Structure 1
Amino acid sequence: MPTPRLATFTVNGLTRYGAVCDHGVVDLSARHANDYPTLREVIAAGALQRIVDEADHTAPDFARDAVKLQPPVPQPEKIICVGVNYPDRNAEYKDGSEAPKFPSMFMRTPRSFVGHGAPLVRPRASKLLDYEGELTLVIGQGGRHIKEADALNHVAAITLCNEGTIRDWVRHAKFNVTQGKNFDHTGSLGPWLVPYTDESQIADIRLTTRVNGETRQDDRTSRMIFSFRYLIAYISTFTTLVPGDLIVTGTPAGAGARAEPPVYLKPGDVIEVEADGVGILRNGVVDEAE
């Protein structure tokens, strides 16, 4: 059975959501406009699997190439990103440090991301645009002080992220990386949501990133320093998670900044982030318009 995939997309100037199938796209928003205006409401209602099942018995409304995919969750309240969460990634810093005791974290704005197929934008301010392929959790059931044992009950879906980074701007200040992580349209999310089923679905996913067909990052989620359960419990200690929040769970070793010499993205490059059971998030690169 094909993996169920739910996407936010634009078609004929309108933003909609639906199921992406091998034979086309089923417009589910047209069928649930009163109950679920966007996928955020579907997630909050715990209805992802129900509308996927509905789409299985519905003829497509659009050809796949007729729609433009957007970041799957429109305007999430929080996009929480985790840094240094794979053992080889910690070693890349070459500072002799042990694996961190607690996760590094920062926030990103929705405007800093584009969807599958849209180009990442290398800004005027810097040429040091880098890639970071990551698996992303979508929160379904919100909560505070969530126990690790219960944490995965709060996951609605998974998706992918290219957590694009402007490397010199993450070093502008002493303690924070916010500037280099939030340039408009420097990262991507998608291509769609895959509803979460059980822990075996995410426990040992192979995650790879390719640039122009060359594999740059390749690791498995089973090797993460901080598990999915731990991250949800830890984050919910300091903030209330709500439906539609995204947790971007960390990137493996192999980002361009850590190559010798460093290799940064340039216009014309194509980046593909791929994960078992999810799909491929693909984006090109352009320069910011003058």
Structure 2
Amino acid sequence: MTSLPPRLIAFHTKGADRYGVISDAGIVDLTEDFRASYKGLKEVIEAGAIPKLLEAAEGRTPDFTEEEVTFLIPVANPEKLICVGVNFPDRNAEYKDGSKEAGRPSLFIRFPRSFTGHGQNLVRPPESEQLDYEGEVTIVIGKPGRRIPREEAYDHIAALTLCNEGTIRDWVRHAKFNVTQGKNWDNTGAIGPWLVPFNDAAQLDDIALETRVNGEVRQQDRTGRMMYDFRYIVSYVSTFTTLVPGDVIVCGTPTGAGARFDPPIWLKPGDVIEVEAEGIGILRNGVEDEA
């Protein structure tokens, strides 16, 4: 993986949740510097203070290495966590249900508790063995807006991260029209590892996205092939709901999830899943059974 610019991280160490800036040199803990103003990264985003934190970390000696902390999902308490389904070419055909591609994106909601951080294990519940992976680029809103014009959409994005939008497949079929049950089991997905500040369209418009399981490439595509691009997603979602700072939008996965193999290949304890995107990094998680 190529070197990444400094980025924001939420983490746990020495009995407390903390935040700061991570670079190749390590992690600069800024919690005490800014705790009076910003409880966490959501409040940093709300205040438009990402540049302030990056500046405060410049020249500082790192306080921790990655190995000394537990990664948390970057925004622990978003008002909204919205996911886009069926957003890459050929994804609709994977369902083999004879339906035509929709003219608008499929959307659903996830709860923050259904995600864990980078380096943590996804949890397979005893009710189902059908734990699956979905690697996705994820945007975090930085500026509020309603009915945002497409040409202004990028002005409302504060940062980028990654998601393994883990799914319990048989539970998404418990009802005719919704997938909520299969998408919200505790700790079945992951978000992270960090927040990459968003500054330029080149960070999103056509970047490579890849998911690997135990080193085997399972999903591989480019965001330039998305049916509903990032600008459209922001504009469309903001039509029916006001987007606010800290909102998280998970923007769709390529073909190749485990459910689409014949026979399906479900995740099992001991597996390692890596989601990688150019300029954002690698989100890595293992798998364990629920205790």
- CA deviation map 1:119-159 (0-9, x unaligned): 00000110000000000000000111111111110000000
1:140-219, aligned counterparts within 5 Å? Answer: 140-219=142-221
The 3-state SS of whatever aligns with 1:87 is coil
Deviation of 1:49 (Å):
2.4
Letter in 1 for 2:264: P
**Which segment is superposed worse, 93-102 or 273-282?**
93-102
- CA deviation map 1:54-101 (0-9, x unaligned): 212211111221111000012111110000000121221234444320
Q: Indicate conservation of the 8 Å contact 1:99/1:225, yes or no.
A: no
Match 1:41 to one of 40, 43, 55: 43
> Is 1:250 equivalent to 2:252 in the alignment?
yes
**Which segment is superposed worse, 242-251 or 40-49?**
40-49
Q: What is the distance in 1 between the residues matched to 2:90 and 2:48?
A: 36
- Unaligned 5+ runs, structure 1: none
Q: What is the distance in 2 between the residues matched to 1:195 and 1:132?
A: 23
Letter in 2 for 1:7: I
Partner of 2:65: 63
Q: What is the distance in 1 between the residues matched to 2:44 and 2:106?
A: 30
The 3-state SS of whatever aligns with 1:149 is helix
Match 2:283 to one of 271, 278, 281: 281
Q: What is the distance in 2 between the residues matched to 1:186 and 1:54?
A: 35
Q: Percent identity?
A: 62
Letter in 2 for 1:110: P
Report the TM-score when normalising by structure 2.
0.97
Report the TM-score when normalising by structure 1.
0.97
Deviation of 1:51 (Å):
1.3
1:227-246, aligned counterparts within 5 Å? Answer: 227-246=229-248
- Aligned positions, number: 289
Q: Indicate conservation of the 8 Å contact 2:144/2:243, yes or no.
A: yes
Q: Following TM superposition, where does structure 1 have runs of at least 4 consecutive aligned residues deviating by more than 6 angstroms? A: none
Q: What is the distance in 2 between the residues matched to 1:69 and 1:100?
A: 37
Q: What is the distance in 1 between the residues matched to 2:194 and 2:58?
A: 16
Letter in 2 for 1:112: S
Match 1:138 to one of 137, 140, 145: 140
- CA deviation map 1:145-178 (0-9, x unaligned): 1111111100000000000000000000010000
Partner of 2:15: 13
Q: What is the distance in 2 between the residues matched to 1:15 and 1:255?
A: 33
The 3-state SS of whatever aligns with 1:30 is helix
1:259-278, aligned counterparts within 5 Å? Answer: 259-278=261-280
Partner of 2:226: 224
| RMSD of aligned alpha carbons | 1.1
Q: What is the distance in 2 between the residues matched to 1:27 and 1:276?
A: 26
Partner of 2:101: 99
Q: What is the distance in 2 between the residues matched to 1:49 and 1:159?
A: 17
Q: What is the distance in 2 between the residues matched to 1:197 and 1:93?
A: 36
The 3-state SS of whatever aligns with 2:62 is coil
Deviation of 1:205 (Å):
1.0
Deviation of 1:10 (Å):
0.3
- CA deviation map 1:31-53 (0-9, x unaligned): 11111121111101112123113
- Unaligned 5+ runs, structure 2: none
Letter in 2 for 1:195: P
Q: What is the distance in 1 between the residues matched to 2:107 and 2:193?
A: 24
Match 2:85 to one of 83, 86, 96: 83
Letter in 2 for 1:242: V
